[in-house]
Amino acid sequence: MGDLRGYIEPIGISLGIGLLIGLEREWAHKDVGLRTFALAALAGCLAWLIHPVAAFLVLAAAIALVSILNIRSMLVDRSLEMTTSVALLVTLLLGIVVAKGYFLAAAATAVLVTMLLAWKAELVRFTVGLSLEELRSIVLFGVLTLVIYPLLPEGLPPTVDPMGLINLRAAWLVVVILSAIGLVNYALLRLYGARGIHFTGILGGLVNSTATVSELARRCRGQEEKALDLALEGMLLANIAMMARNGLILGIFAPAALLHGWLAVGLMAGLTGLMVLRILRRSSSSAAPAIRLAFPFSLRHSLLFGTFYLVIRAVVVLADRFLGPGGFMVATFLGGLVSSASTAAAAATLAAQGQISTEAAGLGVVLASMASLLFHVPMARLGGLQGPWLRRLGWVSILTVLVGILGLAIEGWR
């Protein structure tokens, strides 16, 4: 029975993978659809279970079959089904991967393949809309990530940096991860941002919350009350997105620190969300103003962000070492005024390296988020938001910070 279960499990997973990918191809009205993809995944799995040589023979036969199908399609209607052909071969290979026992890797890859196939229109639209400068920035991101990062040293010699304040490799890793988050959300904003204030506020806030607040204020300056209500809604959503992004940064580098400060962040996000719901009752997001943020990756931007990170990291370490907890709190709050993302990354990486406690890292990220919330008010004023909408943003920001302080006090008391 044990041996039988060992065969049934990979066969079942392979069948599920083939059906998942084939479902999308069937929906797209391709000649090669649900049944063919399911059979291809099963063929790869069964062939490997029989013998690796059988798997290679099945793969060779699949390549020959795909070639014949494309030749026939070329002769009949002058077209090639390259995407479907490659997807079919990938599905067969995933069946082999499942047979080798890598269930999670195969399932995750199947989901990614299905996403690439299903999002064809969106990917094409985003790619066509790229400027030459943005395309070069993406290529530069790849070069700096794959080529420069492995060459950077972990730290400087003790004679140059006796306190170990500078870690170039850690700084660049932070730049790479945050730039990748920014690139993904920038792509989503380009694709969906114009559809409503929710995408504009949330996705824009994940890329750069301060820029989103300023741009929304500028776009809605001098417009009717409904547009100003929408702008305020977007700013509050950007605040929620900023807190979520900082929490994601903390979770990536120091997951244990998420246990500290969660109550404060939850209360702040909950209060902001309630204010968004109040605005939603009086307005519709159908007329949301479209915004266009700057491309989130450039060499200048990366070097500037890396410099911010190194400076804030050094300040936080020195403040914690020589001024104690009070100095650390002041340093992270002031760092949040400059860049809450880089401050969150600095606190998280220091906790990961054991230089500060996870509790201090969680507290630092909360304080940086509070500082960013308050800084958004003058930025909205500079963008052109005035009158009752500016006052409402100010009061909501102050109340949100007070609620966050209450959450920190409750956690400390517990």
DSSP 157-215: -TTT-TT----HHHHHHHHHHHHHHHHHHHHHHHHHGGG-HHHHHHHHHHHHHHHHHHH
Q: What is the pLDDT of residue 304?
A: 75
| CA-closest candidate to residue 36, choices 15, 56, 57 | 15
Q: Is the confidence at residue 90, as pLDDT, over 90?
A: yes
Report residue 404 as tokens: 């966050």
Alpha-carbon distance of 4 to 208, in angstroms, equals: 54
Report residue 76 as tokens: 């009949």
Highest mean pLDDT among 38-52, 161-175, 194-208, 290-304: 38-52
| CA-closest candidate to residue 339, choices 227, 238, 231, 246 | 246
Q: What is the pLDDT of residue 352?
A: 86
Q: Is the confidence at residue 399, as pLDDT, over 70?
A: yes
Average of pLDDT values for 64-90? 81
Per-residue pLDDT reduced to its tens digit, 9-35:
889 999 999 999 999 888 888 877 888
Between 52 and 4, the more confident residue is 52
Neighbours of 101 (CB within 10 A): 11
Q: Is the confidence at residue 159, as pLDDT, over 80?
A: no
Q: What is the pLDDT of residue 335?
A: 85
| CA-closest candidate to residue 49, choices 12, 106, 98, 92 | 98
Neighbours of 194 (CB within 10 A): 14
Torsion of CA 203, 204, 208, 209, to 10 degrees: -100
Cα dist from 267 to 274, 400, 404, 405, whole Å: 11, 8, 6, 10
Highest mean pLDDT among 40-44, 121-125, 407-411: 40-44
pTM of the model: 0.61
Report residue 354 as tokens: 């054991």
Alpha-carbon distance of 165 to 315, in angstroms, equals: 9
Residue indicated by tokens 């609620």: 403
3-state secondary structure of 357: coil
Alpha-carbon distance of 183 to 138, in angstroms, equals: 9
What's the DSSP call for residue 122?
H
Report residue 327 as tokens: 């100095």
Q: What is the pLDDT of residue 401?
A: 92
Label residue 395 left, alpha or beta by phi (over 0 means left) and psi (-120 to 50 means alpha): alpha
Neighbours of 73 (CB within 10 A): 17
Backbone Cα Rg of the chain: 26
Contacts of 329 (CB under 8 A, 6+ apart): 363, 364, 367
Q: What is the pLDDT of residue 291?
A: 52
Alpha-carbon distance of 348 to 364, in angstroms, equals: 9
* pLDDT class of 45 with cuts at 50, 70, 90: very high
* pLDDT class of 320 with cuts at 50, 70, 90: confident
Q: Do the beta carbons of residue 204 and residue 243 sit within 8 Å?
A: no
Alpha-carbon distance of 140 to 299, in angstroms, equals: 8
Q: Which of 55-64, 341-350, 392-401 has the lowest mean pLDDT?
A: 341-350
Q: Do the beta carbons of residue 377 and residue 392 sit within 8 Å?
A: no
| CA-closest candidate to residue 258, choices 364, 362, 406, 328 | 362
23-62 exposure pattern, b = at least 16 Cβ within 10 A, e = fewer: bbbbeeebebbbebbbbbbbbbbbbbbeeeeebeebbeeb
Average of pLDDT values for 282-295? 53
Position 156: which residue type?
Answer: L
Supply the DSSP string of 37-55, one letter for each residue. Answer: HHHHHHHHHHHHHH-HHHH
Q: Which of 128-142, 276-290, 321-335 has the lowest mean pLDDT?
A: 276-290
* pLDDT class of 286 with cuts at 50, 70, 90: very low
Q: Which of 8-12, 163-167, 221-225, 284-288 has the lowest mean pLDDT?
A: 284-288
Q: Is the confidence at residue 39, as pLDDT, over 60?
A: yes
Q: What rounded mean pLDDT belongs to the chain?
A: 80
Average of pLDDT values for 220-248? 79
